[in-house]
Structure 1
Amino acid sequence: MKTKPQKRHKALQPLSREHHHGLLLTWKIRSGFNKNIDPKRIKTYADWFFETHLIPHFDMEENHIFSILESDNELIKRALAEHRRLKRLFSETDVEPKTLSKIEEELEQHIRFEERVLFPEIQKIATEEQLQHIEKIHHEAPFKDNLDDEFWK
């Protein structure tokens, strides 16, 4: 018998929506490759997305969400290691298709891990006060995309 997916607490829903935008980035990178777009164009967009959306998202998770679990928790260690690896990949200055491909693969796997494993665990452990605190400090702004070069279309 298949279990029903756990409903995401409303305090974590904005982070899940941000994850959705991260998955769209991975789709855009794949689309760029499929259309033989110059990797520099893809990297320009990926860098913008990283600076504008991922860095604030990672900061929110690392400073307010992950602390709900113990710092020696294996899930937290994994998430932090994946954040570090993604930051290193995005900071690569050489525009290599291989690096973009690693960003696409690792970001997608990381988001799936957080959504399917880490967030349900956090939600299970978090107190109502902790969730209310997250809700209070994390103000979701409408997603604004960079449409200067829509290479994915």
Structure 2
Amino acid sequence: MKRHESLHPLTHHHHHTLVMAQKLKKFSDSDRIQPTTREIIDFWIQDGEKHFRDEEEVLLPLYAQYESVDQPCIQEMLIQHVEIRSYIRQIRMNQSSKPDLFRQLGALLEKHVRLEERTIFPMIEQAVPENYLYQANGQYHRDSHSGY
């Protein structure tokens, strides 16, 4: 899917999130929990948390200047942000069965990325003038994997 150049950093973040999602969805009861727990926490600290802030504090406020954010798809996006944060918190605090939690988190991460890439980003690209999209690009965090 062709994405506006200014959103490439967020799309790169999404690619790394999908890699993590696939790993988590395939997590089996025989896999080692500790290394996966550490990988999830590192992923969240280095990129996930900052990515959500990029969307919530830069991208959506920019979009709100041109269109209403009171839309079911944006509400779903923000609810998913809360749910993902809850999963991360549970993993960090060892509050439940991790293999099931890992698989559930993986499925939600994939669903979330698909929502943003297929629905939210196209809406933003259509509504926000190109020069403002470029200005927002300079406000995103740098991805720890690619530096993008």
State how 1:63-74 maps to structure 2 within 5 Å.
63-67=57-61, 68-69=63-64, 70-74=68-72
* RMSD of equivalent CA atoms: 1.9
Bigger RCO (CA 8 Å, 6+ sep): 2
Q: Is the 8 A contact 1:32 1:42 kept in 2?
A: no
Moved over 4 A (4+): none
* Residues in 2 aligned to 1:90 and 1:108: alpha-carbon distance in whole angstroms: 15
SS at match of 2:145: coil
The structure with more helix, counted as a fraction of residues: 2
SS of residue paired to 1:33: coil
Q: Secondary structure of the equivalent of 2:57?
A: helix
CA distance in 2, matches of 1:33, 1:44: 16
Q: Please, what TM-score do these two structures have when normalized by structure 2?
A: 0.83
TM-aligned CA deviation for residue 101 of structure 1: 1.0
Distance 1:88 1:139, change over 3 A: closer
1:55 aligns with 2:49: yes
In structure 2, distance between residues paired with 1:89 and 1:19: 18
Count residues with an aligned counterpart: 138
Indicate which of 131, 136, 139 corresponds to 1:137.
Answer: 139
Q: Percent identity?
A: 25
* Contact map agreement 2:33 2:98 (CA 8 A) in 1: yes
Query: What is the TM-score normalised by the length of structure 1?
Result: 0.81
